[in-house]
Structure 1
Amino acid sequence: MGNSNKLTLPKLYKHFVIAVTGKEFEFTSGSIRKAIFMLSIPMILEMLMESIFALVDIAFVAMVSVNAVATIGLTESVITLIYAMAIGLSMAATAIVARRVGEKNIEGARESAVQAILLGIAVALITGIIGAYYAEEILGLMGGSQEVIAEGKGYTSLMLGGNITILLLFLINAIFRGAGDASIAMWTLVLSNGLNIILDPIFIFGWGPIPEYGVMGAAIATNIGRGSAVLFQLAILFFGWSRIKLQITDIVIKFKVMTNLINVSLGGIAQFLIGTSSWIFLMRIISEFGSEVLAGYTIAIRVIMFSLMPSWGMSNAAATLVGQNLGAKQPNRAEISVWKTGKYNAIFMFLVSLIYLFFARDIIMFFNTTPKVVEYGTLCLQIIAAGYVFYAYGMVLTQAFNGAGDTRTPTKINFLIFWIFQLPMAYLIAITFNYGAIGVFIAIAVAEILLTIISYILFKQGKWKEIQV
């Protein structure tokens, strides 16, 4: 019996192939370890694909100028507000779709999916118009110099104006994940990334009849890549092989379903607005120390986001397992899934932190060799990674709350950690005590540890098991 459960390389490879090809798997019974593996692999690959977007853009744009890199840093800080809404809506979509699938209520899952997409389109149209029109003012508000604004306003306008591709990409992938179709979400991002990698150098540096757009070219390539992926997602939803199949007649506003979705997503949106808006203020503090320090921080954060994406993948797997198992009336199985996922995530994050400790300088120099950029980018990587092992559990626990539909608990945790603790601490150490950007890095690392401790205490209380969505 013991030998049959032993994971050999051929068995791992077989499971890997099943996970990425999307063959149906039951997540509410059988081996929990296998369920985590089946969901985590495509979700990790999906998150890696998403972060490759950021790294590819920064790698090509770094060849343009330091101001171009600073433009991406400032713009991304504002776009995190769009991500907040996208992720908040996505958390609600994943939680409700997963719960309905666990209940074997596919029609209810389909209704929730449609309402999520309609909400996403409405939010994207409003924010897109405002962002495109006020691009210069937004860069100025973020502390960008006149040179940065002049060079980067086209990029900012296109990225904010085209945010519908971000919202729909996140939302529809969240629907796939909630249904347990994580491999479809992964292949969607493989498509968008492939296009972005091909189109980035063409539009940034020019090729044949296509002129050189500079940093704005990165925005053109990204929007085309993401937009194509959204069309692919819609084709799968209406004609493809997802567990949730839509028809044109399904596109009707259902106020009861939409109200439920909004109620769950409000906590998620607030949660990420609190978290991501704190990053904007951190970026604003960093901008006080000049474009080179800002560029170093921007590159380091992109690299950090890249390494966090596999962790987000495992955390999202935990959310789906919690949602489906609560729907199937198996709260204990849901809890065991969370602790096991947290353990695997901590092992991964420990290995990443070792890489940053020893190779941070080489990693930053791959993107930019300006001495001050390298110095601060290296410090950022090494200091923030100090809290990685703790944060591995924190990410899984907060996503477990979200998967249960309890988006309010992580919102309160985020408010306490990021607004009441992290921001004042960063300002105090960086500006008041004159430690400069290092003060911001220290505040981020300490906040990661504190978030995990509080999440652990609240998760152990078990109130998330009683949430109804």
Structure 2
Amino acid sequence: MKRFFELLKQSLKGGEHDYTEGSVKSAIVLLSIPMILELSLESVFAVVDIYFVGHLPNADVAVATVGLTEAVISLVYTLGIGLSVGATAVVSRRVGEKNFVAASESGAQAIWISFAISLVVAFLGYFFASDILRLMGAQPEVIQQGTSFTQIIFASSPAIILLFLINGVFRGAGDAAMAMRSLWLASILNIILCPLLIYGYGPFPALGLTGAAVATAIGRCSGVLYQCYHLFWKNRTIKIVKSYFKPKWEIVKSLLGISLPAMFQFFIQSGSWIVLTYIVSKTGSTEASAGYQIAIRNVVFFILPAWGLSNAAATLVGQNLGAKQPERAEQSVLLTTKYNVAFMSLVTLLFVFFSKTIIGFFTEEPIILAYGSQALQIIGLGYIFYGIGMVMIQALNGAGDTKTPTYINIFCFWVLQIPIALTLSFYFELGPLGAFIAIPTAETVLALLAYYYFKKGKWKKVEV
């Protein structure tokens, strides 16, 4: 325990560490704890916005605007996450090779590519904000009052994408604490500025719903500026100078070759969850949809530690492959998987035996409580397999093999999960229960396939 707390303190403090030698257990702890905290803080933005705008006089319109915009902006998150996967894979490989100049050049190439893409997204989102809300089924009053909010959020797309991307660069370099701190700064500023700009305390103007967007944009932009300060002016593993931004098409090709399939992976996942939400609402009731959404929020929250461990595995794979130590890379993944299975086993017990207690924190409505606890129990049965699948998929991504996970995702989510949900829900008339059952079924198959392809070992030979 003493050693663990020493590692915990070191992981939060950050600093230089060579993950290609020494204890693999220590490496996992040093990388995963900041990554878990980073992911937790990223989820804070939408929650904070909804909380504060929910107390405005026109709360229904404000909350609807935030929710609809967040649903669309998740596609921007997908771009950022996909690009960050490519950056992590390439940068970690170069760091493992101890070629820090090439690692920094790769980071710079990833930044200018991401910035160029984000400008296109920002332009389209800003000028078509009202059309986006209309396409999402927003009521006229939501479009009228919420367009400025949506415009500001989309205008800040460069900050959203760069925040993800640059954190991917830091993670690839093994500097997970820096990625965590940039999210801390962005989240804390958002929390402070939201009430000030929404309600107009002190010298601040009362901007209402628009104030939430301004606060979020300022928070994210500040996080990016903090990242850039450490990239350009501090002596770290990754140090970028102006000349590194000159296009190097070989690096660009490598980055996009990894990032594009990774983006598609997340589009596949997001799309399948949207379809499941539709099936639940179509075959059930408003109460069924509410119960399912509460259950999914808990599933996402409790899966964050597993996701942090998975990202740690990706970094360890990339760096150790770069150091020509494929066996150490494999050992890192298998040990991370064991930790994930242990954690997910505890969550499974929690979901199966205490589902009503958990859902009861969010609602006292009997029907919503019944659907929510049922969803949580059934989805929870596959939690161990979720943990295995996440680590294996991220390990393959970290090695630069993003195509194999993409094929696995297509098969498991669209060839398996959606047809099973449709068949059980409509043909066998199980209603929402059919969608609930399809989730652990597909995730179990995904884990088995990912493990199979990981053990085949072709990822060890991928050139990045």
TM over 0.5: yes
Measure the CA separation in 2 of the matches of 1:72 and 1:292.
Answer: 22
Counterpart in the other structure of 1:193: 187
> Any residues of structure 2 matched to 1:420-459 within 5 Å, and which?
420-431=415-426, 433-459=428-454
More displaced 10-residue stretch of structure 1: 195-204 or 40-49: 195-204
Contact 2:52 2:194 in 1 (8 A): yes
**Residue 113 of structure 2 corresponds to residue 94 of structure 1:** no
1:353 — aligned with what? 348
Deviates more, 1:127-136 or 1:244-253: 127-136
TM-superposition CA deviations, 1:170-210 (whole Å, max 9, x none)? 10000001011111111111111111222333344553443
Structure 1 residue corresponding to 2:118, chosen from 105, 113, 124: 124
- Counterparts of 1:161-180 in structure 2 under 5 Å? 161-180=155-174
* Partner amino acid, structure 2, of 1:56: V
Change (3 A) 1:59 1:351: farther
Match of 1:392 in 2: 387
1:124-170 C-alpha deviation (Å, 9 max, x unpaired): 11122222333344344445555665665444443333222221011
2:317 aligned residue: 322
Deviation larger for 147-156 or 348-357: 147-156
Q: SS at 2:219's partner residue?
A: helix
- 2:234 aligns with 240
Cα distance between partner residues in 2 of 1:430 and 1:140: 30
Counterparts of residues 77-92 of structure 1 (less than 5 Å): 77-92=71-86
Q: Which residue of the partner structure matches residue 4 of structure 1?
A: none
After the TM superposition, which residues 397-408 of structure 1 pair with which residues of structure 2 at under 5 Å, given as runs?
A: 397-408=392-403
Match of 1:19 among 11, 14, 38: 11
How far apart are the structure 2 equivalents of 1:464 and 1:198?
45
Return closer, same or farther for 1:332/1:187 CA change in 2, 3 Å cut-off.
same
Encode CA deviations 1:225-262: one digit per residue, 9 max, x unaligned.
11110111011101124311112332222222112211
Unaligned runs of 5+ in 2: none
Q: Which residue of 1 aligns with 2:100?
A: 106
Mapped to 2, the partners of 1:97 and 1:182 lie a distance apart of 13
Residues 288-327 of structure 1 mapped to structure 2, 5 A cutoff? 288=282, 294=289, 296-327=291-322
Question: Could you say which residue in structure 2 is the equivalent of 1:412?
Answer: 407
Match of 1:28 in 2: 20
Corresponding residue to 2:330 among 311, 315, 335: 335
Separation in structure 2 between the aligned mates of residue 262 and residue 433 of structure 1, nearest angstrom: 43
Cross-structure match for 2:48: 56
8 Å CA contact 1:319–1:403 kept in 2: the answer is yes
RMSD across aligned positions (CA): 2.7
The answer (yes or no) to whether the contact 1:307–1:352 under 8 Å persists in 2 is yes
CA displacement at 1:40 relative to structure 2: 1.1
Gapped regions of structure 1 (runs ≥ 5): 1-8
What is the aligned partner in structure 2 of residue 115 from structure 1?
A: 109
**1:52 Cα deviation after fit:** 2.9
TM-score, structure 1 length as denominator?
0.89
d(CA) in 2 for partners of 1:128, 1:284: 29
Q: Which moved more, 1:321-330 or 1:383-392?
A: 383-392
Q: Deviations over 1:34-55 (max 9, x none)?
A: 1111111211221222223344
Deviation at 1:95, TM superposition (A): 0.6
Paired AA for residue 440 in structure 1: A
Amino acid at match of 2:306: S
Worse overlay, 405-414 or 419-428: 419-428
Describe the superposition over 1:320-368 as per-residue Cα deviations: whole angstroms up to 9, x where unpaired: 1100111111111111110110110121122233333455455555556
1:133 corresponds to 2:120: no
Amino acid at match of 1:467: V
Change (3 A) 1:150 1:295: farther
The yes-or-no answer on 1:38 pairing with 2:47 is no
Paired letter, 2:314: A
Give the partner amino acid of 2:444. I
Instruction: Measure, in 2, the Cα distance between the counterparts of 1:156 and 1:436.
Output: 35
Equivalent pair of 1:297/1:377 in contact (CA under 8 Å): yes
* Residues 109 and 244 in structure 2, CA contact (< 8 A), matched pair in contact too: no
8 Å contact from structure 2 (residues 355, 373) kept in 1 = yes
Q: Mark the CA change 1:223 to 1:33 in structure 2 (over 3 Å): closer, same or farther.
A: same
Structure 1 residues 164 and 373, CA, compared in 2 at 3 Å: closer, same or farther?
farther
**CA gap 1:203/1:279 in 2 versus in 1, 3 angstroms:** farther
> Per-residue deviation at 1:267?
1.8
What is the one-letter code of the residue matched to 1:45? Answer: L
Query: Does the CA-based 8 Å contact 2:386-2:447 persist in structure 1?
Result: yes
Work out the percentage of aligned pairs sharing the same amino acid.
49
Output the CA distance in 1 between the equivalents of 2:124 and 2:370.
Answer: 37
Note the alpha carbon deviations across 1:391-417, whole angstroms, 9 max, x for none. Answer: 001000000000100010000001111
Partner of 2:376: 381
Cα 1:195–1:430 shift into 2, 3 Å: farther
Stretch deviating more after TM superposition (439-448 or 362-371)? 362-371
Q: Is the 8 A contact 1:116 1:258 kept in 2?
A: yes
Provide the rounded CA distance (Å) in 1 between the counterparts of 2:47 and 2:21.
Answer: 38
Would the alpha carbon gap of residues 271 and 17 (structure 1) be closer, same or farther in structure 2, given more than 3 Å must change?
same
